[in-house]
Amino acid sequence: MENNQESEFRSGFVALIGKPNVGKSTLLNRLLGQPIAGISAKPQTTRRRQLGILTAKEYQIIFVDTPGLTDAKDKLAKSINSEVQFALNDSDLLVLLVDASNPAETMDEKLLDAIQASRKQPPVLVVFNKADRLNKSTFAQLSALYREKLPQARTLQISALDGSGVKTMLQEIVGLLPLGPQYFPEEQITEDYERDIAAEMIRAVCMDMLAEEMPYSIATQVQSYKERENGTLYIDATIYVERESQKGIVIGRKGQMIREIGTKAREELERVTGQNVFLELVVKVQKDWKNDQAFLKQIGLSGG
Protein backbone atom coordinates (compact mmCIF):
# COMPACT_ATOMS: atom_id res chain seq x y z
CA MET A 1 0.00 0.00 0.00
CA GLU A 2 2.18 2.87 -1.23
CA ASN A 3 -0.34 5.46 -0.03
CA ASN A 4 0.68 4.73 3.57
CA GLN A 5 4.10 6.22 2.88
CA GLU A 6 2.81 9.55 1.56
CA SER A 7 3.26 12.33 4.14
CA GLU A 8 0.07 14.14 3.12
CA PHE A 9 -2.23 11.12 3.01
CA ARG A 10 -5.41 11.77 5.01
CA SER A 11 -7.76 9.21 6.45
CA GLY A 12 -10.43 8.80 9.06
CA PHE A 13 -13.91 7.71 10.08
CA VAL A 14 -16.72 10.07 9.08
CA ALA A 15 -20.13 9.48 10.70
CA LEU A 16 -23.18 10.39 8.63
CA ILE A 17 -25.81 11.32 11.20
CA GLY A 18 -29.29 12.78 10.96
CA LYS A 19 -32.93 12.11 11.69
CA PRO A 20 -34.64 9.15 9.97
CA ASN A 21 -35.18 9.42 6.22
CA VAL A 22 -33.01 12.50 5.76
CA GLY A 23 -31.03 10.92 2.89
CA LYS A 24 -27.95 9.42 4.56
CA SER A 25 -28.06 6.13 2.64
CA THR A 26 -28.77 7.95 -0.65
CA LEU A 27 -25.73 10.14 -0.02
CA LEU A 28 -23.51 7.18 0.88
CA ASN A 29 -24.46 5.32 -2.30
CA ARG A 30 -23.76 8.45 -4.37
CA LEU A 31 -20.36 9.00 -2.75
CA LEU A 32 -19.32 5.40 -3.46
CA GLY A 33 -20.74 5.42 -6.98
CA GLN A 34 -22.69 2.23 -6.35
CA PRO A 35 -25.45 1.07 -4.00
CA ILE A 36 -24.48 -0.70 -0.78
CA ALA A 37 -27.22 0.73 1.45
CA GLY A 38 -30.91 -0.08 1.22
CA ILE A 39 -33.12 2.91 0.45
CA SER A 40 -36.82 3.35 1.18
CA ALA A 41 -39.08 6.39 1.29
CA LYS A 42 -39.94 5.40 4.86
CA PRO A 43 -37.88 6.08 8.00
CA GLN A 44 -35.82 3.41 9.79
CA THR A 45 -34.54 1.74 6.64
CA THR A 46 -31.08 1.73 8.26
CA ARG A 47 -30.96 -0.04 11.63
CA ARG A 48 -27.23 -0.49 12.16
CA ARG A 49 -23.96 1.17 11.28
CA GLN A 50 -22.73 0.45 7.78
CA LEU A 51 -19.28 1.31 6.49
CA GLY A 52 -18.69 2.80 3.05
CA ILE A 53 -15.01 3.12 2.10
CA LEU A 54 -13.90 5.76 -0.41
CA THR A 55 -10.23 5.65 -1.42
CA ALA A 56 -8.29 8.06 -3.63
CA LYS A 57 -4.59 8.79 -4.14
CA GLU A 58 -4.56 11.42 -1.38
CA TYR A 59 -7.11 10.05 1.09
CA GLN A 60 -9.25 7.23 2.42
CA ILE A 61 -12.61 8.13 3.99
CA ILE A 62 -14.48 5.49 5.96
CA PHE A 63 -18.07 6.72 5.99
CA VAL A 64 -20.22 5.35 8.79
CA ASP A 65 -23.89 5.39 7.74
CA THR A 66 -25.85 5.50 10.99
CA PRO A 67 -29.54 4.89 11.71
CA GLY A 68 -31.72 7.87 12.56
CA LEU A 69 -32.39 8.47 16.25
CA THR A 70 -35.77 7.17 17.38
CA ASP A 71 -38.09 7.81 20.34
CA ALA A 72 -39.43 4.25 20.58
CA LYS A 73 -38.71 2.30 23.77
CA ASP A 74 -38.32 -1.33 22.66
CA LYS A 75 -34.93 -3.08 22.54
CA LEU A 76 -34.70 -2.59 18.79
CA ALA A 77 -34.99 1.19 19.22
CA LYS A 78 -32.42 1.17 22.02
CA SER A 79 -30.09 -0.80 19.77
CA ILE A 80 -30.59 1.74 16.96
CA ASN A 81 -29.83 4.65 19.29
CA SER A 82 -26.73 2.91 20.68
CA GLU A 83 -25.41 2.61 17.09
CA VAL A 84 -25.71 6.39 16.71
CA GLN A 85 -24.04 7.03 20.09
CA PHE A 86 -21.13 4.75 19.21
CA ALA A 87 -20.54 6.68 15.98
CA LEU A 88 -20.63 10.02 17.81
CA ASN A 89 -17.89 8.89 20.19
CA ASP A 90 -15.73 6.99 17.72
CA SER A 91 -15.44 9.19 14.61
CA ASP A 92 -12.89 11.71 13.36
CA LEU A 93 -15.57 13.90 11.77
CA LEU A 94 -19.35 14.20 12.01
CA VAL A 95 -21.50 15.06 9.00
CA LEU A 96 -24.89 16.18 10.31
CA LEU A 97 -27.34 15.85 7.44
CA VAL A 98 -30.37 18.13 7.76
CA ASP A 99 -33.54 18.11 5.65
CA ALA A 100 -33.55 21.65 4.23
CA SER A 101 -37.30 21.42 3.60
CA ASN A 102 -38.01 20.53 7.24
CA PRO A 103 -35.11 21.68 9.45
CA ALA A 104 -34.76 22.19 13.20
CA GLU A 105 -37.24 19.52 14.23
CA THR A 106 -37.19 17.95 17.70
CA MET A 107 -35.00 15.08 16.47
CA ASP A 108 -32.47 17.56 15.05
CA GLU A 109 -32.40 19.23 18.48
CA LYS A 110 -31.73 15.85 20.12
CA LEU A 111 -28.88 15.18 17.70
CA LEU A 112 -27.37 18.60 18.38
CA ASP A 113 -27.53 17.88 22.12
CA ALA A 114 -25.95 14.46 21.57
CA ILE A 115 -23.12 15.99 19.53
CA GLN A 116 -22.46 18.55 22.26
CA ALA A 117 -22.36 15.78 24.86
CA SER A 118 -20.18 13.40 22.82
CA ARG A 119 -16.97 12.29 24.47
CA LYS A 120 -14.63 12.89 21.54
CA GLN A 121 -15.95 16.28 20.31
CA PRO A 122 -14.85 15.79 16.66
CA PRO A 123 -15.24 18.54 14.02
CA VAL A 124 -18.77 18.87 12.61
CA LEU A 125 -19.95 19.61 9.09
CA VAL A 126 -23.63 20.60 8.92
CA VAL A 127 -24.97 19.66 5.49
CA PHE A 128 -28.41 20.82 4.36
CA ASN A 129 -29.83 18.25 1.96
CA LYS A 130 -32.41 19.04 -0.77
CA ALA A 131 -30.53 22.23 -1.66
CA ASP A 132 -33.03 23.21 -4.36
CA ARG A 133 -35.41 24.26 -1.56
CA LEU A 134 -33.00 26.81 -0.07
CA ASN A 135 -32.27 30.35 -1.26
CA LYS A 136 -29.18 32.22 -0.01
CA SER A 137 -31.08 34.10 2.68
CA THR A 138 -32.72 30.95 4.11
CA PHE A 139 -29.41 29.08 4.01
CA ALA A 140 -27.73 31.89 5.96
CA GLN A 141 -30.53 31.87 8.56
CA LEU A 142 -30.39 28.09 8.99
CA SER A 143 -26.59 28.12 9.22
CA ALA A 144 -26.75 30.70 12.00
CA LEU A 145 -29.41 28.66 13.81
CA TYR A 146 -27.28 25.51 13.87
CA ARG A 147 -24.09 27.36 14.73
CA GLU A 148 -25.74 28.69 17.88
CA LYS A 149 -25.27 25.18 19.31
CA LEU A 150 -22.21 24.22 17.25
CA PRO A 151 -20.20 27.45 16.88
CA GLN A 152 -17.23 25.76 15.18
CA ALA A 153 -19.31 23.83 12.64
CA ARG A 154 -19.01 24.48 8.92
CA THR A 155 -22.20 24.54 6.87
CA LEU A 156 -22.98 23.82 3.23
CA GLN A 157 -25.83 22.60 1.06
CA ILE A 158 -26.18 19.63 -1.29
CA SER A 159 -28.67 17.42 -3.06
CA ALA A 160 -27.93 13.76 -2.35
CA LEU A 161 -30.46 12.85 -5.03
CA ASP A 162 -28.96 14.71 -8.01
CA GLY A 163 -25.42 15.15 -6.67
CA SER A 164 -25.20 18.94 -6.64
CA GLY A 165 -22.79 20.21 -4.00
CA VAL A 166 -21.49 16.72 -3.19
CA LYS A 167 -18.05 17.33 -4.75
CA THR A 168 -17.62 20.48 -2.66
CA MET A 169 -18.72 18.58 0.44
CA LEU A 170 -16.14 15.88 -0.28
CA GLN A 171 -13.38 18.50 -0.53
CA GLU A 172 -14.47 19.94 2.83
CA ILE A 173 -14.39 16.48 4.42
CA VAL A 174 -10.89 15.71 3.13
CA GLY A 175 -9.64 19.06 4.45
CA LEU A 176 -10.98 18.26 7.93
CA LEU A 177 -9.51 14.76 8.15
CA PRO A 178 -6.28 14.09 10.05
CA LEU A 179 -3.15 12.72 8.43
CA GLY A 180 -3.27 8.97 8.72
CA PRO A 181 -2.80 5.52 7.20
CA GLN A 182 -4.79 3.62 4.60
CA TYR A 183 -6.94 1.33 6.73
CA PHE A 184 -8.46 -0.80 3.96
CA PRO A 185 -7.33 -2.06 0.52
CA GLU A 186 -8.19 0.53 -2.14
CA GLU A 187 -10.63 -1.80 -3.93
CA GLN A 188 -12.72 -2.46 -0.79
CA ILE A 189 -15.89 -0.36 -0.51
CA THR A 190 -17.60 -1.83 2.56
CA GLU A 191 -16.91 -4.01 5.57
CA ASP A 192 -20.31 -5.68 5.29
CA TYR A 193 -20.72 -9.14 3.83
CA GLU A 194 -22.73 -9.46 0.63
CA ARG A 195 -25.45 -11.38 2.48
CA ASP A 196 -25.90 -8.48 4.95
CA ILE A 197 -26.25 -5.97 2.13
CA ALA A 198 -28.76 -8.28 0.41
CA ALA A 199 -30.81 -8.60 3.62
CA GLU A 200 -30.97 -4.82 4.02
CA MET A 201 -32.03 -4.33 0.41
CA ILE A 202 -34.79 -6.94 0.71
CA ARG A 203 -36.04 -5.19 3.84
CA ALA A 204 -36.01 -1.80 2.08
CA VAL A 205 -38.23 -3.27 -0.66
CA CYS A 206 -40.61 -4.64 1.99
CA MET A 207 -40.77 -1.21 3.62
CA ASP A 208 -41.68 0.43 0.32
CA MET A 209 -44.34 -2.09 -0.66
CA LEU A 210 -46.13 -2.70 2.63
CA ALA A 211 -48.58 -0.15 4.00
CA GLU A 212 -48.88 1.76 7.27
CA GLU A 213 -46.96 0.48 10.32
CA MET A 214 -46.36 -2.97 8.88
CA PRO A 215 -42.79 -2.27 7.64
CA TYR A 216 -41.52 -1.61 11.17
CA SER A 217 -42.52 -5.11 12.26
CA ILE A 218 -40.26 -6.69 9.63
CA ALA A 219 -36.75 -8.08 9.94
CA THR A 220 -34.81 -9.89 7.23
CA GLN A 221 -31.99 -12.40 7.23
CA VAL A 222 -30.18 -14.10 4.36
CA GLN A 223 -29.68 -17.79 5.12
CA SER A 224 -27.75 -18.70 1.98
CA TYR A 225 -25.78 -16.62 -0.56
CA LYS A 226 -24.04 -18.75 -3.17
CA GLU A 227 -22.82 -18.34 -6.72
CA ARG A 228 -23.61 -21.32 -8.92
CA GLU A 229 -21.45 -22.64 -11.75
CA ASN A 230 -23.49 -20.77 -14.36
CA GLY A 231 -22.78 -17.42 -12.61
CA THR A 232 -26.27 -17.06 -11.09
CA LEU A 233 -26.45 -15.92 -7.46
CA TYR A 234 -28.72 -18.10 -5.34
CA ILE A 235 -30.08 -16.17 -2.35
CA ASP A 236 -32.31 -17.79 0.26
CA ALA A 237 -33.78 -15.19 2.64
CA THR A 238 -36.27 -15.09 5.50
CA ILE A 239 -38.68 -12.25 6.23
CA TYR A 240 -39.62 -12.21 9.91
CA VAL A 241 -42.80 -10.66 11.30
CA GLU A 242 -44.12 -10.35 14.86
CA ARG A 243 -47.59 -11.88 14.51
CA GLU A 244 -49.39 -14.53 12.49
CA SER A 245 -51.78 -11.95 11.03
CA GLN A 246 -48.80 -10.01 9.65
CA LYS A 247 -47.53 -13.12 7.91
CA GLY A 248 -50.74 -13.23 5.89
CA ILE A 249 -50.30 -9.58 4.88
CA VAL A 250 -46.74 -10.13 3.66
CA ILE A 251 -47.71 -13.23 1.69
CA GLY A 252 -50.86 -11.60 0.32
CA ARG A 253 -53.87 -13.13 -1.34
CA LYS A 254 -52.81 -16.27 -3.20
CA GLY A 255 -49.17 -15.27 -2.61
CA GLN A 256 -49.44 -12.12 -4.72
CA MET A 257 -47.61 -9.73 -2.35
CA ILE A 258 -44.63 -11.98 -1.63
CA ARG A 259 -44.22 -12.55 -5.38
CA GLU A 260 -44.19 -8.80 -6.01
CA ILE A 261 -41.70 -8.24 -3.19
CA GLY A 262 -39.52 -11.03 -4.57
CA THR A 263 -39.58 -9.61 -8.10
CA LYS A 264 -38.64 -6.08 -7.04
CA ALA A 265 -35.97 -7.30 -4.60
CA ARG A 266 -34.46 -9.57 -7.24
CA GLU A 267 -34.28 -6.66 -9.71
CA GLU A 268 -32.56 -4.47 -7.09
CA LEU A 269 -30.06 -7.22 -6.25
CA GLU A 270 -29.29 -7.83 -9.91
CA ARG A 271 -28.68 -4.09 -10.38
CA VAL A 272 -26.25 -4.04 -7.44
CA THR A 273 -24.39 -7.28 -8.19
CA GLY A 274 -24.45 -7.19 -11.98
CA GLN A 275 -25.40 -10.88 -11.93
CA ASN A 276 -28.52 -12.94 -12.49
CA VAL A 277 -30.18 -13.64 -9.14
CA PHE A 278 -32.41 -16.50 -8.06
CA LEU A 279 -34.17 -15.25 -4.94
CA GLU A 280 -36.18 -17.47 -2.64
CA LEU A 281 -38.18 -15.80 0.13
CA VAL A 282 -39.99 -17.37 3.08
CA VAL A 283 -42.02 -15.60 5.77
CA LYS A 284 -41.80 -16.65 9.43
CA VAL A 285 -43.30 -15.41 12.69
CA GLN A 286 -40.84 -14.40 15.42
CA LYS A 287 -43.05 -13.16 18.24
CA ASP A 288 -42.15 -9.76 19.70
CA TRP A 289 -38.72 -9.92 18.03
CA LYS A 290 -38.05 -6.22 18.71
CA ASN A 291 -37.64 -7.11 22.40
CA ASP A 292 -35.86 -10.44 21.87
CA GLN A 293 -32.21 -9.72 22.61
CA ALA A 294 -30.97 -13.08 21.29
CA PHE A 295 -32.81 -12.59 18.00
CA LEU A 296 -31.59 -9.01 17.60
CA LYS A 297 -28.04 -10.27 18.03
CA GLN A 298 -28.74 -13.02 15.48
CA ILE A 299 -29.66 -10.42 12.84
CA GLY A 300 -26.67 -8.20 13.64
CA LEU A 301 -28.09 -5.78 16.20
CA SER A 302 -26.93 -5.35 19.77
CA GLY A 303 -30.38 -5.40 21.40
CA GLY A 304 -29.77 -2.23 23.41
pLDDT in tens, 10-39: 999 998 888 877 888 888 888 888 665 544
Please name which of 26, 58, 34, 275 lies closest in space to residue 129, comparing C-alpha atoms: 26
pLDDT in tens, 80-121: 666 667 777 788 999 999 888 776 666 677 788 888 877 778
Dmax (CA) for the chain in angstroms is: 63
Is residue 230's pLDDT more than 50? yes
For the entire predicted model, the pTM comes to 0.64
Q: Specify the pLDDT at position 44.
A: 43
Is residue 43's pLDDT more than 70? no
Q: Which residue has the higher pLDDT, 158 or 186?
A: 158
Q: Specify the pLDDT at position 49.
A: 57
Q: Specify the pLDDT at position 149.
A: 86
Q: Specify the pLDDT at position 45.
A: 43
Q: Walk across the sheet containing 59-65 and list its strands.
A: 50-55, 59-65, 10-17, 93-99, 124-129, 154-157
Answer whether 22's CB lies under 8 Å from 101's CB. no
Structural domains present in the chain: 2-176 (3.40.50.300), 194-298 (3.30.300.20)
| Stretch 159-169: mean pLDDT | 90
pLDDT confidence band for 61 (50 / 70 / 90): very high
Could you give the CA distance from residue 81 to residue 71 in angstroms, rounded to a whole number? 9
Answer whether 99's CB lies under 8 Å from 70's CB. no
Q: Specify the pLDDT at position 283.
A: 95
Q: Specify the pLDDT at position 125.
A: 94
pLDDT above 90 as % of the chain: 30
| Stretch 128-143: mean pLDDT | 83
Is residue 40's pLDDT more than 50? no
- Listed in sequence order, the DSSP H helices in 155-255 are 166-176, 194-209, 244-251
Is residue 210's pLDDT more than 90? no
